[in-house]
């Protein structure tokens, strides 16, 4: 029987541990106080881009000892807690990682290198973001652990040599077929969030097809998609079932928002799950 998680509703959910409540944040950083929406209980005004940038800056600093300069105008604002929990569910310490689409903050790469001692290869398509990502890596003294590579619009094939391989391939990929994200959160560059396909699944399916060849055994290919992208989730699961991949899905719950983490396992050396005509 093929799995149909999004119809069965049988996905395990993990609440993201928030050990950095707003009350603690404002005590440590009174400059956050003007950005509160309510004082009692203290809540950050999540409709203010400036507020979110400052709050997430302090989370990265206080929880993970990272000094991240976020891109102020365009890029989506990355929440460090969600990305850390994603990594915690997927990667193991001292591994090699390929991250697709690291963004201007390089947050996933920085967390993987600093918290999990990973050796990271991080790709990005946007030249402006690549410059900022490299600055973030240098200012955290992690240049020896993270390389940033310009993907030039490719995903993996044509970027890396055929003998390149890693333990984990991970991504917070572009997943929308059209932009639905509020403007204050996301400022403008379509390649950040838009993927083609009937429901925005094309990028992710191509990532699975290409990534498979570059995974060590054992290895895991993993990505994260919001629950609101129901059609994308169903299309990806259908692809995985049709091609007999072995995988798990878990949900990460942050506030009232759920994101699903797909973990696809490469367990055998001679893995010919993907037929040549599909590639
Ligand atoms: C949803 S954002 C994730 C950014 C960051 N990793 C994070 O978690 O906040 C997706 C990123 O993928 C990048 N991207 C889109 N197409 C790409 C490609 N073909 N190769 C590499 N990066 C790409 C976008 O520019 C964007 O920075």
Is the beta carbon of 71 within 6 A of some atom in ligand 1?
no
């963004």: which residue's tokens? Answer: 103
Span 169-188, pLDDT tens digits: 999 998 765 555 555 555 55
Q: What is the pLDDT of residue 19?
A: 83
| Average pLDDT rounded to a whole number, residues 225-239 | 92
Ligand 1 atom nearest the C-alpha of 126 is 25
Long-range contact list for 26-30, CB < 8 A, 24+ apart? 28/58, 28/62, 29/54, 29/58
Which residue, by CA, sits nearest to atom 17 of ligand 1? 125
Residue 84 preceded by cis peptide, ω within 30: no
The pLDDT-based confidence of 279 (bands split at 50, 70, 90) is very low
Point out the least confidently predicted range of 23-37, 73-87, 172-186, 216-230. 172-186
Is the beta carbon of 177 within 6 A of some atom in ligand 1?
no
76-88 as b/e: b if 16+ CB within 10 A: bbbbbbbbbbbbe
265 has pLDDT over 90: yes
4 has pLDDT over 70: no
| Average pLDDT rounded to a whole number, residues 58-81 | 93
pLDDT averaged over the chain?
89
In the chain, the domains with their CATH numbers are 5-20+77-266 (3.40.50.150)
Is the beta carbon of 126 within 6 A of some atom in ligand 1?
yes
Is the beta carbon of 240 within 6 A of some atom in ligand 1?
no
Is the beta carbon of 103 within 6 A of some atom in ligand 1?
yes
Q: What is the pLDDT of residue 207?
A: 96
Q: What is the pLDDT of residue 56?
A: 96
Dihedral angle, C-alpha 169, 205, 173, 160, nearest 10 °: 50
Span 11-34, pLDDT tens digits: 999 999 888 999 999 999 999 999
202 has pLDDT over 80: yes
**H helix runs in 102-229, sequence order:** 107-116, 127-139, 190-193, 202-211
CA distance 179 to 257: 18
Span 135-167, pLDDT tens digits: 999 999 999 999 999 999 999 999 999 999 999
| Average pLDDT rounded to a whole number, residues 75-84 | 91
Is the beta carbon of 191 within 6 A of some atom in ligand 1?
yes
Which residue, by CA, sits nearest to atom 19 of ligand 1? 153
Checking phi first, is residue 222 left (phi over 0); if not, alpha (psi -120 to 50) or beta? beta
Q: What is the pLDDT of residue 188?
A: 54
To test the ligand 1 pocket, which listed residue (68, 100, 101) has its Cβ within 8 A of the most ligand atoms? 101
Ligand 1 atom nearest the C-alpha of 154 is 19
Which of 148, 146, 97 has its CA nearest to residue 126? 148
Q: What is the pLDDT of residue 50?
A: 93
Is the beta carbon of 112 within 6 A of some atom in ligand 1?
no
Is the beta carbon of 87 within 6 A of some atom in ligand 1?
no
Which residue, by CA, sits nearest to atom 4 of ligand 1? 103
| Average pLDDT rounded to a whole number, residues 111-137 | 97
Which residue, by CA, sits nearest to atom 14 of ligand 1? 101
Q: What is the pLDDT of residue 276?
A: 45
């Amino acid at each position: 029987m093929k799995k149909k998680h999004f119809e069965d509703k049988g996905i395990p959910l993990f609440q993201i541990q928030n050990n950095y409540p707003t009350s603690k944040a404002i005590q440590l950083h009174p400059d956050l106080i003007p950005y509160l929406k309510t004082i009692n209980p203290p809540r950050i005004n999540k409709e203010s881009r400036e507020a979110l940038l400052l709050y997430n800056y302090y989370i990265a600093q206080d929880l993970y000892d990272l000094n991240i300069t976020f891109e102020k105008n365009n890029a989506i604002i990355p929440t460090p807690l969600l990305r850390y929990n994603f990594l915690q569910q997927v990667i193991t310490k001292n591994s090699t990682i390929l991250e697709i689409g690291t963004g201007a903050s390089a947050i996933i790469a920085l967390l993987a290198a600093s918290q999990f001692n990973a050796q990271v290869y991080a790709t990005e398509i946007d030249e402006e973001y690549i410059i900022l990502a490299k600055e973030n890596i240098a200012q955290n003294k992690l240049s020896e652990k993270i390389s940033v590579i310009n993907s030039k619009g490719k995903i993996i094939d044509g970027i890396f040599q055929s003998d390149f391989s890693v333990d984990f391939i991970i991504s917070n990929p572009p997943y929308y077929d059209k932009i639905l994200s509020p403007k204050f959160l996301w400022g403008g560059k379509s390649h950040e969030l838009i993927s083609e396909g009937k429901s925005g699944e094309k990028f992710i399916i191509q990532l699975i097809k290409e990534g498979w060849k570059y995974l060590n055994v054992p290895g895991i290919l993993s990505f994260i998609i919001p629950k609101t992208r129901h059609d994308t989730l169903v299309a990806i699961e259908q692809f995985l079932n049709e091609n007999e991949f072995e995988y798990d899905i878990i949900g990460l719950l942050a506030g009232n928002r759920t994101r699903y983490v797909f973990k696809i396992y490469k367990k055998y050396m001679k893995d010919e799950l993907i037929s040549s005509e599909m590639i």
